[in-house]
Amino acid sequence: MFRKLVQSEQIDVDGRPYVVHYFEHRKARGGRRFSAEAVLGPDDRIIVDDDTLISVQAKVARLAPATIYSRALAAKAASVAA
């Protein structure tokens, strides 16, 4: 299936900008599904999906900061353990 870019935006987490792309997918029976891809780094992405664009945007608002903070904590713990 093809996905269509419907929106791009930038979110800030602790003053650092991250790009988020929102896509629409057409299902085989004609329904729609939305997804978002938050770009954290060159090879690092967070992908979420849901039935509505508003729901996907809400998930990104909650999950992107939590993911970024948890990865920072894990990196800090790994450096302390080494």
User: What whole-number distance in Å separates Cα of residue 72 and Cα of residue 19?
Assistant: 18
User: Helix H segments across the chain?
Assistant: 53-81
User: What whole-number distance in Å separates Cα of residue 38 and Cα of residue 22?
Assistant: 9
Tell me the per-residue pLDDT of 11-23, one tens digit each, with 9 for 90 and over: 999 899 999 999 9
- Determine the pLDDT at residue 1: 61
Report pTM. Answer: 0.84
pLDDT in tens, the chain (82 residues): 678 999 999 999 989 999 999 999 988 888 899 999 999 989 999 999 999 999 999 999 999 999 999 988 888 888 887 6
